Amino acid sequence: MNFDLSDEHKMIREMSRHFANEVISPRAEEMERTGEYPYDIIDKMAQLGIMGIPFPKKYGGSSGDWVGMHICIEELSRGDATFGALLDVTISVTGQEIYVFGTEDQKKKWLVPIAQGTKIGAFGLTEPDAGSDAAGIKTTAVLKGEEWVINGSKQFITNIGMDNASIVIITAKTQRDLDGKTVISTIVVPKDAPDFKVGQKYEKMAMHAGATHELFFDDCRVPRDFLLGNINRGFAQHLAVLETGRISIAAMSTGIAQACYDEAITFYRQRSHSPRSFLESQRVPFKLADIAMRIELSRNMYLKAAWLKDQGERHRLEAHFAKLYASETATKIATEVLKIFSPFGYLDEYPISRYFRQAKLFEIVEGTSEMQRLVIARELM
Ligand SMILES: Cc1cc2nc3c(=O)[nH]c(=O)nc-3n(C[C@H](O)[C@H](O)[C@H](O)COP(=O)(O)OP(=O)(O)OC[C@H]3O[C@@H](n4cnc5c(N)ncnc54)[C@H](O)[C@@H]3O)c2cc1C
């Protein structure tokens, strides 16, 4: 067994850490306050090849792997989790779904601009009656001549509201040609498709520089060949790439937890000469020891899941373990560090309040903690 990172992984870690420190962190508080979307930072990420790490060079990528991608997601999320979320939705889910299930034409049309970083993508699964129960969708796509006619709505869809978004991959109920049986398929909807409307932007408690919207399809028409992969397997395809999404959420959560720890250490060192007894006691160092240990475990868990994926091994259980543990751990660590900062942790001038609010999201998206436990229990049985 070898726990060493390769030279390439170390290089990605150093490059993304430097980028987070120099480019992201100085802007993070302002972005969170104003909600200004960081197009210029995404351009810089594209120039560094970050958007294409796991995809082959022939599709505009850097021919790296998923371990490298997730090391980068952790490091950028240490600066601000908005960028981890951008990479998760665009690369781990949307880009990968096109890469694995798309035709050569689809890859050229949609994957290449994503991997080169000129466009971002979105995935649309959640609906008013479907999220945890992902199969409960009501959106339909009916084949009429050479077009899919889509009707329905999606909610809480990240990325598609941004100016540089090109497509959303949606799940929709379709009918098989031969026996007319209803199945769930995945269809690519370009942002400029007729009668596709991006609705209200949600006002969130954090991650203000990212956008999450409602979507409406009212007899929206897209060409027949915008179906992605197998008509019968859309649901399974979507769930398969969401496994990688869960590894990404674990990496983001680890990044936030590490950022909390870094802040706590700085704060503790600054205040350790204070006569106040709580800083002189062992309470804070003991807490920091627990926090460091939990971060190490979160990191090992997402790296193991990503490594299994790179080996082509089954990693469903490990991805769920990593997502559940790292997201709940990030929330706990943010809470603990906020207490160490108390009452300064409650002030916006310290980033800890941003980490605290951002961390909560990762217990919800791409499957709530309850759903992770349900899937893990089913796998174990
Ligand atoms: C900021 C943000 C961004 C998002 N981005 C996207 C996106 O880009 N694309 C997308 O498709 N979705 C996105 N989502 C949606 C998100 O993934 C879902 O909201 C989430 O998976 C929960 O699903 P739900 O909304 O159906 O909640 P529900 O299923 O209604 O869950 C409500 C509560 O019930 C619990 N629950 C439900 N079923 C069970 C059960 N069987 N056993 C025990 N407990 C249960 C849940 O754990 C939860 O606590 C986003 C959400 C947010 C907040």
Tens digits of per-residue pLDDT, 251-281? 999 999 999 999 999 888 887 666 565 555 6
Model confidence at 177: pLDDT above 90: no
Peptide bond into 343 cis (omega under 30): yes
Considering only 70-74, 175-179, 184-188, 227-231, which range has the smallest mean pLDDT?
Answer: 175-179
Cα distance between residue 300 and residue 254, in whole Å:
10
Testing ligand 1's pocket by substitution, the residue of 87, 365, 375 carrying the most ligand atoms inside 8 A of its CB is 365
Percentage of residues of the chain with pLDDT beyond 90: 85
Name 209's Cβ contacts closer than 8 Å, sequence gap at least 6.
Answer: 31, 32, 34, 35, 36, 37, 38, 80, 82
Considering only 21-25, 123-127, 178-182, 185-189, which range has the smallest mean pLDDT?
Answer: 178-182
Closest to 85 (Cα-Cα) out of 369, 361, 363: 361
Testing ligand 1's pocket by substitution, the residue of 120, 371, 375, 376 carrying the most ligand atoms inside 8 A of its CB is 371
Q: Residues with beta carbon inside 6 Å of ligand 1?
A: 89, 122-126, 131-132, 156-158, 204, 212, 361, 364-368, 370-371, 374
pTM: 0.96
Tell me, what's the pLDDT at 135? 83
Tell me, what's the pLDDT at 285? 85
In CATH terms, the fold of domain 7-120 is Butyryl-Coa Dehydrogenase, subunit A; domain 1 (1.10.540)
In CATH terms, the fold of domain 123-232 is Butyryl-CoA Dehydrogenase, subunit A; domain 2 (2.40.110)
The residue nearest atom 14 of ligand 1, judged by CA position, is 156
Q: How far is the CA of 361 from the centre of ligand 1 (A)?
A: 10
- Stretch 100-113: mean pLDDT: 98
Tell me, what's the pLDDT at 182? 87
Cα distance between residue 335 and residue 352, in whole Å:
9
Testing ligand 1's pocket by substitution, the residue of 364, 372, 374, 378 carrying the most ligand atoms inside 8 A of its CB is 364
The residue nearest atom 38 of ligand 1, judged by CA position, is 132
Considering only 176-185, 231-240, 323-332, which range has the smallest mean pLDDT?
Answer: 176-185
Residues recognised as catalytic: 366
Tell me, what's the pLDDT at 288? 93
Tens digits of per-residue pLDDT, 14-60? 999 999 999 999 999 999 999 999 999 999 999 999 999 999 999 99
The domains of the chain are located at 7-120, 123-232, 235-380
Tens digits of per-residue pLDDT, 215-227? 999 999 999 999 9
Tell me, what's the pLDDT at 342? 82
Beta-bridge mates of residue 217: 152, 196
Cα distance between residue 50 and residue 68, in whole Å:
10
Closest to 67 (Cα-Cα) out of 241, 297, 300, 296: 300
Tens digits of per-residue pLDDT, 292-343? 999 999 999 999 999 999 999 999 999 999 999 999 999 999 999 999 888 8
The residue nearest atom 43 of ligand 1, judged by CA position, is 370
Higher pLDDT, 233 or 178: 233
Long-range contacts of 192-196 (CB under 8 A, 24+ apart): 193/220, 193/221, 193/222, 194/220, 194/221, 195/219, 195/220, 195/221, 196/150, 196/220
232 band by pLDDT with thresholds 50, 70 and 90: confident
What CA dihedral angle connects 336, 338, 342 and 346, to 10 degrees?
-150
Cα distance between residue 79 and residue 66, in whole Å:
20
The residue nearest atom 28 of ligand 1, judged by CA position, is 132
CATH homologous superfamily of 235-380 equals: Butyryl-CoA Dehydrogenase, subunit A, domain 3 (1.20.140.10)
Beta-bridge mates of residue 184: 173
Token readout for 270 is: 């600054």
Q: How far is the CA of 89 from the centre of ligand 1 (A)?
A: 15
CB 175, CB 236: distance < 8 Å? no
Q: What is the mean pLDDT of the chain?
A: 94
Helix-strand-coil percent breakdown of the chain, rounded to 5?
Answer: 55, 15, 25
